[in-house]
Structure 1
Amino acid sequence: MSEKSCSRIFTGCRVLGYVSTHVPFVARFIKRRGETLLCTSIGKWFHTYGCDKFRLLSISGEHPGPITCMSGDNFHVYTASENNIFAWRRGCELKHVYKGHNASVHLLMPFGEHLISIDEGNVLKLFDIKDESEFLELLFDVNQFKITTLCHPPTYLNKILLGSHQGQLQLWNVRTSKLIFTFKGWNSPISVVEPAPAVDVVAVALANGKVILHNLRYDQKIVEFVHDWGHVSSLSFRLDGAPVMVTGSSEGHIVMWDLEERRVMSQIQSAHSASIAGLQCLMSEPLMVTNSEDNSLKLWIFDMPDGGARLLRRREGHALPPNLVTHCEPTGQNMLVAGQDRSLHIMNTVTETFNKSMGKASYNRKLSKKKHRLEKDKHAMPAITKLSSCMQRDKQWDSIASIHRGKYIVTTWSYNKIRMGDHKLIPPSFPKGTEATCLIVTHCGNFVIVGYSNGQVHKFNMQSGLHRGSYGQEKKLAHKGAVRGVETDICNQRLITAGADDKLKFWRFKTATTPYHVMSLEESVTMTKLNRDSGLLALANEDFSITIVDIDTMNVVRKFEGHLGKINCIDFDPQSRWLISTSMDCTICVWDIPSAQLVDIFSVERPCTSLSMSPTGDFLATTHVHELGVFLWANRLLYERVFLKPIDRNAVEVPKLKLPSTIPEKPDLDELGLIDLGEEPEYKSPEQISQELITLSNQPTSRWLNLLNLDIVKRRNKPKTPFTVPKSAPFFLPTIPSLELEFDLEKENIGNGETKLLIPDTLSTLSVFAKKLVSCEDQDYSECINKLKTLAPSAIEAEVNSMSPDVGGSVEVMKKFLEMLRAMLESNKDFELAQSYLSLFLKTHTKTISGSLELRNTLNCIEETAAKSWSRLQSHLLYNICVVKALKDM
């Protein structure tokens, strides 16, 4: 990316705070995970959340336009954007693109191996999911039958049910493309059609607020409900056995209907602050998921005494665009974000799991929390316009203070308790029509200083909320006009106020009668920002310029000019080297304070309303007009070498940057075309990388490590009470001792030989494993080795003990066992098993081996093979140790 098209310092990173839009979510149960995944649209992308913990799992690629509708099945998530349909695997891999519509698609439904889609032109198309071919196309007259919804009734093979704006229903056979039946309807637009758990029954939600359960087979109405709180926007049935229908309204209410008693069972009023876009009860669970265009996704559980649901989990952002963002911790991971929806949120830059909502400000928080309130909350306060915080005493008392639009009351918030505080700061004897304009919380967290539109400046205690004095002598006025900014230094010794009277006054923090210094400013101030560590005070002026004052020398040290619109926000970087500013001309400027030069400038699509630089200097957070999210810009100087040069605003073309998205930019979907990523082959590790290397068996240590100490283990695990055998044992099949259940089927082979003599296997003293060992030929012992791997340690010990001639074995079996161990050592496979089996064999049969020349010769061969393996292992090990030691000494 060239310098002309990008910022020198900042690059787009990601956006926070987007959860849901007006598009209904998609719920998919993934059997392999044992979890239901929820997919929600956030504009040009969609998020995938896990239902168990509501964690964000994946983010899709960017669509060419906003997502208009979504659907899903066991294999794909289908999204429609503009005139195309896209199929995604794993939430982020594009698999198919379906083209052919001439208008925007607004309805999608997977139908077996096909995908049904309906566009705004009232055209129904049926696509083959695998080869992306168009299977069927049906045209409908908009004036006679405008499709608004569709569903597939269970047990109706190859049939779909279409609902119309005219209030009629049509049942179609998509295989033969024939209209089967037309239902007369109810003279009201149909908004939702949902199949009921009962056969032949569907629920039909009308725009007039009625919900009708209709029998398709007999074309009869079963029951009719009337929804009084707006028309039904979503509908679902409980699928865990309870005869309950759940409806969501356009006003955000949820109603549970008892289908047996045909009445309202319970209700959740104001479940969302906007229309409920999607509502679905999960299969075989008392859970329900809803999403809304208020930027929220909620999980409900049916465990209330009246059969209702309570909120279990939620993920939400701002319902209206945020207008204020500020970092509140030294780590820079958490931000306070205030929005026009009157709420205050905590957003985390590391993971969205830590995002929290602190609620909305209220004059009476207890009354606002009362349930069963259909009307709007009369106690809610207006949106927050100014914020200030200090986390020094956050555990003891409230740490955040806020000003609300048009109000003189200042509210406090508790960051530790994640809610609104208990205090409302109101000065004594206040004239009517006055409002708070600015505030600052001191560095110690004990006081908050508030400036008002009548020129007064008051001090309050954050712990008790009590008034602690005011600044000014004449009528207790600090300025003759509105106070535009208040700041305190790091030691709480000085207070600086800026007013509309073009005065900058310096006060002693404790003695509040008269200022000890007054500066006359050339321009009126709109806002102030003080960096307490450096003592630099930035003043944003009405002539779109910025002035920097040193509060120690009380002189103007810098002045920056270059903005073409009202300055919305200013902030310092952690080192006080840069001043970052934004204005209504859609530009963000970075000023270098030591050189007094503009070193970076870029413009964005929409004006930035607020910005905040991270205390660690890694991110710049911004909010923008008509945007619900908080956008993060990464500081390139942390990982790149960038040389900053002065910029002439008039001579350089300002680069225009796109706002950061949820994921890094990817190629457009139109450029990708019809692609098929295919299935990634599962990687299987080879049994042995090289014959020169020693390969372990990957068996648990409990299978071979304690073979020499089994007698100690048996004594430790000996039962305290003797084992009693039942008098009448049940019938059972003979089994082979192993870790897995295996039946002894060797007896079925009796009589298969050529001899006519019937010799039962019970007369043979060899075990099943010993017989397999003797029958091995051509030094191929793989079957015997695999058999040993399945045996428990006690069974392996029993097999080795039974090889002795004294207990029914033979020297031939022992020789075969040694030859098997020699083959294992020569192949360098299962190295630790071979060593363990050899140790157990030598411990058990020492006397027998010493008396057999044949066994001693075989042991000599094994000794030579084992010595070669150990020497090769030792050479490789010593070489690696030397290399590591040499690297450590460098």
Structure 2
Amino acid sequence: MAPQSKLFCPFKAVGLVVAGKPFFLRYLNEQRHYILKVPVGNAFHIYNTSKLQLLSVSELHLSAISCMVKGSPHDFTATKDGTIYCWSAYYNLVKKLEAHKHEVQFMAVIGRNLVSVDVENNLKVWDVVEGSVYLEMDFNSNAFDITAMVHPPTYLNKVLIGSRQGSLRLINLKSSKVIYEFDGWNSAVTVIQPSHAIDVVAIGLDDGRIIIHNLKFDKTIMTLKQDWGKVTALNFRSDNNAILLSGSAVGHIGLWDLEEKCLKSTIEKAHDGPIVSLICAEGEPLAYTSSSDNVIKTWIFDMPDGGGRLHNHRDGHSEPPLRVRFHGSQGDVMISGGEDSQLRSSVVSTSRTRSLGLACYNRAMVKKSGLKASKKMPPIINFTSELTREEGWDSIAAIHLNSSTVSTWSYKKSRMNEQYLSHKRFKDSILKNGMATCIDISACGNFVFIGYNTGHIDKFNLQSQTHRLTYGEEVSHYTAVRGLVSDSLNHWLVSGSQMGILQWWTMRKGEKDKSLKLEAGVCSMTLHRESGLFAVSLDDWSLIVADIDTKSVVRELYGHHNQITDMAFSADSKWLISSSMDCTIRTWDLPTGSCIDNFVVPSPATSISLSPVDDYLVSTHVNELGIFVWVNRSFLSYVSLQPLKEDYCPPTLALPSSAPDTAPQEDSDSGDSDGEEDDENVEEYKSPSQLSEDFITVDNMPTSRWLTLNKIDQIRKRNKAVQALKVPKSAPFFLESIGGIEGKRNDAEKAEGDEPKSRISTRRDFVLETLSLFGILLKKRQHDAALEMLLKMGPSNIDLEIRNLDPDLGGSREAMLQFLNMLKDLLKNHLHFEVAQGYLSLFMKRHPDFLHTPDNEVEQVCKELADMHHKSWHVFRQDVNLSLSLLSYFKNSAVINYS
């Protein structure tokens, strides 16, 4: 059994879109649509081509995928440990091929055979059906270092391979001989792409040249040259346009007109890295590209000059995120920022992310002339957010690496403010190297507090972006400010310095109050506003927990063996979770001051955050582009938590992998349809009407259906028209009158009403009616059917039915008794608890005389009903009070000063 954490288990990774490896396009015959198979770390993702929606994720490979290739009917992936995996057309694993001892870098499919080449220039030919190697060739890397391989169409049992030395070889795999060697063009071959014409291939070179070459006659048809350096990808369009697409190392895409032998159009900065994959859709003016920037883009070529524009894209962080925080009270939205200077919003349930913008100077100029390196702001190293004033102005403030400038962002508008928060003191040459080190937003959402490495603390107004106050006379601290937290009442601001000083300030006037000297310098600070507790990580790798109101330290925690990177409180402030550069994530129980959970991750966590409802823990890690989500086991079931022993050996957990946006589809190409038939025969689970007789079960119907029954008369009086409807004047004698209170009467109604009727029979108030269907069901003691009928009615109909139970209105004494018995059974069985209360209240209001009738049977039923009502309400009230007491105890227990 795999090692597990007591509290957290891996759930999913968010924001991982593509790795820097080529992908391919596949057509599914049964579904009649295309999919993209994209390698991402230890698995491959399957996206649809229309919206780039993540459909499914493959099983995890034992190591990262190094290359993949499309075959028929199977696809193949190879990993860095040399293992080759054979997959069905969708994502079912068929077999493994194991013979390589080094990383496989190229593969090609020829019929039922697979050709693979590893980094040591060892070429193997596999019989896929048998799963064995029947041919093996070795190449001397000094004479012929393989850099590209392709199977030219119609060339039976042959592959064309290119080398770093510039030459190419055509190899017959059946005879294991080199049948022809091309001299090359004095530059390393980087990519080879067959064209739609027989014998013709496009060859990309390291110096930027593109050679269109005829293999049969060893003749160069044309030579193209891109000015952007190395050619990294090539592909031919197949929509009746003689266009060749080329990718470069700087992220540009070139469109070459093969008839005119010239560059037709350019897409500059299509990606922020080298183009590693470029696929043209069959028969359509579409192309799919990817790079190492964690983005898949769809381009459509419908511009007047034949150029392309961005049609769709799916992206994530292009550089590792450094900070992640949950945003809002629902616990599903996350905000992250990192080395790519972007703030991104992610949703746990969909795995989709959207960009709030790129931090840059002079946004107006960037929009006009494009982003340049000099205009891009440094990486985001920390940020804070507050929802209180999110509708009015910016709700996010971020600090940047080695910069005194703070950027503010609007989550609602998904953009960065054009103004920045920066104090004029940093224009002085003495303080020009000052930089912001910590940040916090007040609970009211009006002010942002910024601490600097120069020891200053400034207060800015978020709405006007103006400076309001500097704390302290000259400086707030004599060393760098490492942490800032503010309380929920806007009374206290607490700062922590590199010298280990905790200083309390009055937030409004900036006056010093109390200070505490700690044993080591402050590294960072995190606040739980509801309880007033804040955690402080120190330079000696320890943690302390202090109370912002009592101004005292309540807990000291030891256990980490390296620098602490981040901390997070649970919603009730009972737990403190901390991450460290020692690759551990620890959970501390604050009431007991002990560590109750500890696990190790492969890469140190740079940031962690616990959702407002404690169901998810999210983390970011060193050199990882994704945001990793962990499920809190205690949120789903009971978990026994005991303090860990000193010799406890924490388990090592793998980081979570990606999960599909929607439920995975069936693999129709595999020919296995049993799964679909089984799914149709499985009955959908239905929750029982009552989980236990000891539980009080409510109906969960709208409150308007039962809560308003006791006030039905007031509602009718309120809704009564102030002025009576006026009868319209009579129409001329030659026109039929259709207006009036009676409304329009058509010919069909006249035909139905040919027989004369008594005028008295049209007035219901004067007719003695028999029992309604509801009354008949009660009289027959069919309580379930009668209740089901009531539950479907509105308040007015329910009032009418209960009124008509009166014998004077056509009802009967027996029906009224059975109505009370029906309510008694509901209270006895704890069913429809709130509805029964509403019905009973309305019955007592409509029939008080009946309840006071000197009748033994009525008196006995009323007495039993009163006893049942008292018992059921007593049980309900006792359970609610017990739950409230326990919640209050656990919520406030961590606030007690245990020192």
Q: TM-score, normalised by structure 2?
A: 0.71
Name 2:213's counterpart in structure 1.
214
Which AA in structure 2 matches 1:60? Answer: S
1:191–1:205: 8 Å Cα contact kept in structure 2?
yes
| Residue 191 of structure 1: how far off its partner (Å) | 1.1
| Residue 481 of structure 1: how far off its partner (Å) | 2.4
Which AA in structure 2 matches 1:429? Answer: R
Relative to 1, partners in 2 of residues 1:302 and 1:681: Cα closer, same or farther, differing over 3 Å? Answer: same
Which AA in structure 2 matches 1:575? Answer: D
Relative to 1, partners in 2 of residues 1:45 and 1:515: Cα closer, same or farther, differing over 3 Å? Answer: same
| Residue 136 of structure 1: how far off its partner (Å) | 4.2
1:127 equivalent to 2:126? Answer yes
Name 1:765's counterpart in structure 2.
none
| Residue 618 of structure 1: how far off its partner (Å) | 0.9
- Counterpart pick for 1:640 among 634, 637, 642: 637
Which AA in structure 2 matches 1:392? Answer: T
3-state secondary structure, aligned to 1:544: coil
Name 1:15's counterpart in structure 2.
13
Name 2:440's counterpart in structure 1.
440
Q: How does 1:541-690 map to 2 (within 5 A)?
A: 541-649=538-646, 651-662=647-658, 679-681=672-674
| Residue 682 of structure 1: how far off its partner (Å) | 7.0
Name 1:416's counterpart in structure 2.
412
Which AA in structure 2 matches 1:504? Answer: L
3-state secondary structure, aligned to 1:637: helix
- Counterpart pick for 1:381 among 367, 377, 382: 377
Name 1:493's counterpart in structure 2.
491
Write the distance in 2 (CA, Å) between the matches of 1:456 and 1:124: 64
- Counterpart pick for 2:524 among 522, 527, 550: 527
2:440–2:449: 8 Å Cα contact kept in structure 1?
yes
Name 1:233's counterpart in structure 2.
232
1:450 equivalent to 2:453? Answer no
Name 2:395's counterpart in structure 1.
399
Write the distance in 2 (CA, Å) between the matches of 1:198 and 1:685: 47
Which AA in structure 2 matches 1:387? Answer: F
| Residue 128 of structure 1: how far off its partner (Å) | 3.4
| Residue 177 of structure 1: how far off its partner (Å) | 5.1
1:423–1:464: 8 Å Cα contact kept in structure 2?
no
Relative to 1, partners in 2 of residues 1:617 and 1:90: Cα closer, same or farther, differing over 3 Å? Answer: farther
Name 2:755's counterpart in structure 1.
none
Write the distance in 2 (CA, Å) between the matches of 1:684 and 1:642: 38
Write the distance in 1 (CA, Å) between the matches of 2:594 and 2:55: 44
| Residue 155 of structure 1: how far off its partner (Å) | 4.1
Deviations 1:159-191 (A, max 9, x none): 433323332233344456554433222122211
| Residue 115 of structure 1: how far off its partner (Å) | 2.4
Name 2:464's counterpart in structure 1.
464
Deviations 1:648-703 (A, max 9, x none): 43x33333333333369xxxxxxxxxxx99834476699999xxxxxxxxxxxxxx
Deviations 1:571-624 (A, max 9, x none): 111110011112222222211111222222222233222111111101111122
| Residue 647 of structure 1: how far off its partner (Å) | 2.5
3-state secondary structure, aligned to 1:392: coil
Write the distance in 1 (CA, Å) between the matches of 2:557 and 2:341: 34
Name 2:184's counterpart in structure 1.
185
Name 1:429's counterpart in structure 2.
425
Which AA in structure 2 matches 1:641? Answer: Y
Name 2:856's counterpart in structure 1.
none
Deviations 1:253-292 (A, max 9, x none): 2111122222222212222222211111111111111111
Write the distance in 1 (CA, Å) between the matches of 2:95 and 2:679: 34
1:28–1:73: 8 Å Cα contact kept in structure 2?
no
1:59–1:91: 8 Å Cα contact kept in structure 2?
no
3-state secondary structure, aligned to 1:646: coil
Which AA in structure 1 matches 2:319? Answer: L
3-state secondary structure, aligned to 2:425: coil
Q: How does 1:647-796 map to 2 (within 5 A)?
A: 647-649=644-646, 651-662=647-658, 679-681=672-674
2:187–2:205: 8 Å Cα contact kept in structure 1?
yes
Q: How does 1:36-435 map to 2 (within 5 A)?
A: 36-73=34-71, 75-81=73-79, 82-89=81-88, 91-174=90-173, 179-353=178-352, 355-370=353-368, 377-430=373-426, 431-435=431-435
| Structure 2 gap ranges (5+) | 661-668, 683-781, 790-821, 832-899
Relative to 1, partners in 2 of residues 1:287 and 1:663: Cα closer, same or farther, differing over 3 Å? Answer: closer
Write the distance in 2 (CA, Å) between the matches of 1:658 and 1:536: 32
1:598–1:646: 8 Å Cα contact kept in structure 2?
yes
After TM superposition, the structure 1 stretch with the greater mean CA deviation from structure 2, 23-32 or 123-132, is: 123-132
Percent identity between the two aligned chains = 40
Write the distance in 2 (CA, Å) between the matches of 1:245 and 1:688: 51
Write the distance in 2 (CA, Å) between the matches of 1:688 and 1:535: 55
Write the distance in 1 (CA, Å) between the matches of 2:544 and 2:77: 51
| Residue 209 of structure 1: how far off its partner (Å) | 1.5
3-state secondary structure, aligned to 1:352: coil
| Residue 72 of structure 1: how far off its partner (Å) | 1.2
1:531–1:576: 8 Å Cα contact kept in structure 2?
yes
1:30–1:74: 8 Å Cα contact kept in structure 2?
no
1:527–1:541: 8 Å Cα contact kept in structure 2?
yes
Write the distance in 2 (CA, Å) between the matches of 1:465 and 1:372: 26
Relative to 1, partners in 2 of residues 1:95 and 1:429: Cα closer, same or farther, differing over 3 Å? Answer: same
Write the distance in 1 (CA, Å) between the matches of 2:392 and 2:555: 40
Write the distance in 1 (CA, Å) between the matches of 2:680 and 2:313: 48
CA RMSD of aligned residues (A): 3.1
Write the distance in 1 (CA, Å) between the matches of 2:172 and 2:651: 56
1:236–1:279: 8 Å Cα contact kept in structure 2?
yes
| Structure 1 gap ranges (5+) | 665-675, 690-877
Relative to 1, partners in 2 of residues 1:300 and 1:624: Cα closer, same or farther, differing over 3 Å? Answer: same
3-state secondary structure, aligned to 2:512: coil
3-state secondary structure, aligned to 2:424: coil
Q: How does 1:505-524 map to 2 (within 5 A)?
A: 505-512=503-510, 514-524=511-521
Write the distance in 2 (CA, Å) between the matches of 1:501 and 1:192: 57
1:146–1:165: 8 Å Cα contact kept in structure 2?
yes
Write the distance in 1 (CA, Å) between the matches of 2:678 and 2:140: 60
Which AA in structure 1 matches 2:163? Answer: S
| Residue 50 of structure 1: how far off its partner (Å) | 0.8
Name 2:758's counterpart in structure 1.
none
Write the distance in 2 (CA, Å) between the matches of 1:221 and 1:687: 59
Which AA in structure 2 matches 1:591? Answer: W
Name 2:745's counterpart in structure 1.
none
Q: TM-score, normalised by structure 1?
A: 0.72
